[in-house]
Amino acid sequence: MTIIDHPKEETRLRMVFLGSSGAIQVPSFHCVCSVCQAARANPQHRRTRASLALIGHETSVIDASPDIEFQLEREAIRQVDRVFITHWHFDHVWGLGLLGDAASHVSWPPIELYLPHEVIYHFDQELAYMKSRVNLHPIGPGDRFELPDATWEVVKTTHNEHSVGFVVEASQRFAYLVDGVTPPVQTLERLKKTNLDFVILEATMDELDEQWWNFTVEQAVACWQQIGPERCILTHLTCHGWKNHRLIAGLSYEERLAYEAKTPGLKFAYDGMTVIL
Ligand SMILES: [Zn+2]
Ligand SMILES: [Zn+2]
Ligand SMILES: [Zn+2]
């Protein structure tokens, strides 16, 4: 995996992690734990809410977090052509309205918006004013799109009833399965068939003493090994744990580095991390 330092000068097809936190940002305004304090002291350790951009002949993003304006400005991304939504949770869709506003202020062509068909009614109710600024594509598992930079396929994830992930095939092949725990059998079989170069999973909580529809780091690593590619990137990192119904500090930056060192092929995403495809 090639991770580069000067993405803005790069002309090859690349993937940029616009954000890498879960629904809870790091630092979080209500928290003074050691991880949040470390992120306040060193802005490089801050995380905004998870989403991904694929930049080539055009720019596609997976999910539109509430932080998307800040993220696009930080990465000097001036136009968004396509948006793929994984599920209708606020940390993945609240930025849609911001993109709609941008599309009306500048003369973008309509944004191609791929939305699980079960949640089209949310769009119709909450973002109806944007309709003229998007071409809406209702999607479901098994759908496949041949696009200028890559082929995209929709797969079911295990997070809520309508959540989906994406298998993206360019010069490298990867799957984006965020949010969600171990995917259903049909998805696992589909992933094993593809010979993925890497998989992007979520590891929302570092520690967890009850069953959630999100992974801990250990659970995500076990899922990666089940799917089988050589490399895995973990994102949607809240950097906290949940114990006795309370939010507690999670892995520190140094502990994450140590975890990577003992786990070949594993990388924790960070905001702005850029991978050449
Ligand atoms: Zn989320
Ligand atoms: Zn904290
Ligand atoms: Zn979610």
> What is the C-alpha separation between 171 and 56, in angstroms, rounded?
12
Residues 6+ apart with CB under 8 A from 194: 167, 169, 173, 175
Between the CA of 177 and the centroid of ligand 3 the distance, in Å, is: 11
Domain boundaries, the chain: 2-276
14 φ, ψ (degrees, to nearest 5)? -145, 160
Between the CA of 23 and the centroid of ligand 3 the distance, in Å, is: 8
> What is the C-alpha separation between 84 and 139, in angstroms, rounded?
9
Between the CA of 20 and the centroid of ligand 2 the distance, in Å, is: 15
> What is the C-alpha separation between 53 and 63, in angstroms, rounded?
9
The b/e string for 23-45 (b: 16+ C-beta within 10 A; e otherwise) is bbbbbbeebebebbebbeeeeeb
Is pTM, for the whole model, over 0.85?
A: yes
User: Is it true that domain 2-276 has CATH number 3.60.15.10?
Assistant: yes
- Closest ligand (CA of 36): 2
Hey, CA dihedral for 268, 272, 275, 277, is it positive or negative? positive
- pLDDT tens-digit profile, the chain (277 residues): 788 766 666 778 999 999 999 999 999 999 999 999 999 999 999 999 999 999 999 999 999 999 999 999 999 999 999 999 999 999 999 999 999 888 778 878 899 999 999 999 999 999 998 888 999 999 999 999 999 999 999 999 999 999 999 999 999 999 999 999 999 999 999 999 889 999 999 999 999 999 899 999 999 999 999 999 999 999 999 999 999 999 999 999 999 999 999 999 999 999 999 999 9
Which residue reads 């939305």 in tokens?
115
- Closest ligand (CA of 158): 3
- Closest ligand (CA of 66): 1
Q: Ligand 1 (ion): which residues have CB within 5 A?
A: 91, 179
Between the CA of 9 and the centroid of ligand 1 the distance, in Å, is: 30
Between the CA of 91 and the centroid of ligand 3 the distance, in Å, is: 7
